[in-house]
Amino acid sequence: MSETQTKTSYTIPIGPIHPAVHEAIRLDVSVEGEEIVDVDVVVGQVHRGIEWIGMNRNNPIQSIYLAERVCGICSASHPFTFVQAVEQAAGIEVPQRAEYIRVIVAEMERIHSHLLWAGVAAHEIGFDSVFYLVWRVREKVMDLTEYITGNRNSKAMYQIGGVRRDITEEQFPRIREALEYYKGVFNQLKTVFLEDITVRMRTKKVGILKTEDALRFLAVGPTARASGVPKDVRQDYAYSAYADLDIKAITPDVLTGTIVGDVYDRIIVRLLEVKQSIEIIERCLAEMPPGDILSEPKIAKLLATLKKAEGEGVGQHEAPRGEVVHYVRLQAGQETLATWKIRAPTYANLMSMPTILIGGQIADVPIAFASIDPCMSCTNRAIVVDSKTKRKSVLTDKELHELSVEKTRRLKAKFDNH
């Protein structure tokens, strides 16, 4: 093992990557031999100035559609949080039926997002066929989203004071049929992801985040829950229809009895949350109250109310990746928002990244990084600088991905030879 410390600069393949999806984040990783000793996270490539646009150009209703495009995968979470904050600031009531519809749309998004992540994680380990199969299974919930909201991705369901479209009784059978399909498929997913020998070898004891570190670095979402911290906004805060539903935060000891905080635990948490989402949607359909869906249907009147309103509000929601927080302040006489602050969950989880990667191997970097489910796409380019001779060599994305797949092959061969 050589003694030189080489500084390598990786931009890691995370997010949907077949093959390379390009840069929104950069990790500078320092290695000694095969072991990682230091990690630096450089962000900012996707900064579009959304808060500035909301404070200077848009009225609050236009900002809902702007908030939808903060992230294309969790595109129902940001408007959900934003309208809660505005309703607190302006004192606008929300009808009970609208609260239940909001929860149904948010849970459908959680199913789609976790299945997307499962396919990506399988690709990182080298199981491309599983990637294709899981994304094919995901198409059912995309069709359901299109049936209810009109679009696969940017759903535009949320409005200040309620929702824009109703879910009528005629639509219920189609929703129930999709949920039955997922219940049937769930056991197969569990077998493939949790009981396969190769998956266990690649993910157990890899990318560990201890409970204490998760608390100090303010991790949120499945990343925190897999390390034993029971933080779940749906369980802790009383907001929207979740307050009626008694949600419990899922930690991996529900299935295995212990908490390790590695990648395997994160897979457990996400798969069990898919099951939980199916149950939540069924309860919402069964208990949906009748009534209006919007407290103020006329948009001109709504805008006039917002222009006169003065106050501030904080909205929270548990997106598939963790807690989303929006803070809004409205000032009387001003049409744009006076203050708007967004906090997406991945920026909280990125601070735990150095702790997760240090002490591991280079070949584990793709799967460990993908396990926090970063909501950004990434580049693949690795520049290895030999500090003694100052010679640069470039590893392409294919080579980095190959390192990860090669490790899988080695482990599998070792197991098969026993």
Partner 1 sequence: MEILSPEEIVESFKTTLGGDFIDSRIYQREVAIKKNLFTSIWIQVKREAFRKSVEHICKLQEYPHLSVISSADREDSVELIYHFTIYYGHHLKALSLGLRLSLPKSDLKIPTITDIIPGAIFTERETQEMMGVEVIGIPDKRRLFLPDDFPEGVYPWRKDETGPHDMLRVLPGREGIKNE
Partner 2 sequence: MSLNSFKRALWVYQLNTGSCNGCDIEILAALTPRYDLERFGIVLVGSPRHADVLLVTGPVTRQMAPRLKRIYEQTPDPKVVIAIGGCGLEGGVFYESYNLVGPIDQVIPVDVYVPGCPPRPEAIIEAVVKAWVKLEKAAEQKVA
217 binds partner 1 (CB under 8 A): yes
Interior/surface letters 114-152, b for 16+ CB within 10 angstroms, e for the rest: bbbbbbbbbbbbbbeebbebbbebbebbbebbeebbeee
Over the window 281 to 320, marking each residue x when it contacts partner 1 by CB under 8 A and - when it does not, the resulting string is ------x-x----------------------x-x-x----
397 binds partner 1 (CB under 8 A): no
The pair of structure tokens assigned to 188 is: 């197969």
Cβ proximity to partner 2: between 5 and 154 the closer is: 154
Over the window 38 to 57, marking each residue x when it contacts partner 1 by CB under 8 A and - when it does not, the resulting string is -----xx--x-x-xx--xxx
Q: Which residues contact 92 (CB under 8 A, 6 or more apart)?
A: 86, 160, 161, 295, 296, 305
Residues 8-47 that bind partner 2 (CB under 8 A): 15-16, 18-24, 44-47
69 binds partner 2 (CB under 8 A): yes
Write the single-letter amino acid at 84.
Q
230 binds partner 1 (CB under 8 A): yes
72 binds partner 2 (CB under 8 A): yes
Instruction: Assess contact for 276 and 103: CB atoms under 8 A.
Output: no
The minimum distance between CB 40 and partner 1, in angstroms, equals 9
237 binds partner 1 (CB under 8 A): yes
Instruction: State phi, psi for 271 to the nearest 5 degrees.
Output: -65, -40
According to CB under 8 A, which one of 241, 356, 357, 400 is a site residue for partner 1? 241
Separation CA 220–CA 323 (nearest Å): 6
393 binds partner 2 (CB under 8 A): no
The minimum distance between CB 69 and partner 2, in angstroms, equals 5
The pair of structure tokens assigned to 16 is: 């949907």
Cβ proximity to partner 1: between 107 and 323 the closer is: 323
Please work out the total of residues on this chain that contact partner 1, with binding judged by CB under 8 A: 50
Instruction: Assess contact for 326 and 341: CB atoms under 8 A.
Output: yes
Extended strands (E) in 275-338: 311-319, 322-330
Residues 271-300 that bind partner 2 (CB under 8 A): none
Residue among 346, 333, 317 nearest 85 (CA):
317
According to CB under 8 A, which one of 17, 148, 278, 348 is a site residue for partner 1? 348
Extended strands (E) in 43-196: 158-159, 162-163
- Considering CB distances under 5 to 8 angstroms, the limit depending on partner class, which of partner 2, partner 1, none binds residue 350? partner 1
Separation CA 95–CA 290 (nearest Å): 9
236 binds partner 1 (CB under 8 A): yes
**Contacting residues toward partner 2, per CB under 8 A:** 15-16, 18-24, 44-50, 52-53, 57, 65-66, 69-73, 75, 116, 132, 135-136, 139, 142, 152-154, 375-377, 380, 396-398, 401
